């Protein structure tokens, strides 16, 4: 493809003007209007869990699932290293070594989590617990999340399982 040196380049159009125009889809000559703005996936609550603005209940539920995966051996404990404080990681490692929620050798039973019950005793902390059914055994996992560091990232400061 050759370019003509005498021909001027087309003027640049600002992005705001481009997004306001209807566009043409490939293969058809019909004009389409842009889609309306989408609603957020998660409802926003007054008390949110960090930079992503997720409700604290969603934060504790998501962490509970990851924590149970580590305690049952489905994931390595190192995956939660950046989400725990030093004391919290020590408690988690002790629970993993003790095999508190380990499945019986050769069993393919998957853990079933009940609803995550959480509460906020203070604005800077969330305490949660969840019942875990593993075959015929029932366990309870409790943990505490607190915002730590300059970024205020939520980290697990304490873990207990029975």
Instruction: Write down the pLDDT at residue 54.
Output: 57
Sign of the C-alpha dihedral, residues 53, 54, 60, 66? negative
**pLDDT tens, position by position, for the chain (162 residues)?**
555 555 555 554 444 444 444 444 455 555 555 666 665 554 434 344 444 445 777 888 999 999 999 998 888 988 898 899 999 999 999 999 888 787 655 556 788 888 999 898 888 899 999 999 888 888 999 999 999 888 888 999 999 998
Instruction: Write down the pLDDT at residue 92.
Output: 92
3 contacts 10 by C-beta, under 8 angstroms: no
| Domain boundaries defined on the chain | 56-161
Q: How many CB atoms lie within 10 A of CB 118?
A: 21
Check whether domain 56-161 has CATH 3.10.450.50, yes or no: yes
Instruction: Write down the pLDDT at residue 129.
Output: 93
d(C-alpha 102, C-alpha 109), whole Å? 11
Instruction: Write down the pLDDT at residue 74.
Output: 87
CA-nearest of 87, 90, 95 to 70 is 95
């Amino acid at each position: 493809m050759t370019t003509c040196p005498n021909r001027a380049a087309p003027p640049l159009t600002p992005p705001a003007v481009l997004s306001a125009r209807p566009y043409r889809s490939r293969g058809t000559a019909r004009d389409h209007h842009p889609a309306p703005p989408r609603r957020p996936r998660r409802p926003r609550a007054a008390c949110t869990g960090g930079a992503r603005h997720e409700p604290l209940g969603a934060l504790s539920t998501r962490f509970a699932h990851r924590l149970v995966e580590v305690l049952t051996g489905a994931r390595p404990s190192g995956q939660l290293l950046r989400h725990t404080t030093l004391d919290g990681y020590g408690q988690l490692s002790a629970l993993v070594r003790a095999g508190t929620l380990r499945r019986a050798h050769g069993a393919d039973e998957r853990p079933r989590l009940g609803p995550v019950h959480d509460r906020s005793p203070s604005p800077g902390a969330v305490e949660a617990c969840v019942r875990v059914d593993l075959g015929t055994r029932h366990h309870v996992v409790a943990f505490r999340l607190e915002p730590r560091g300059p970024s205020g990232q939520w980290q697990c400061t304490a873990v207990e399982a029975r």
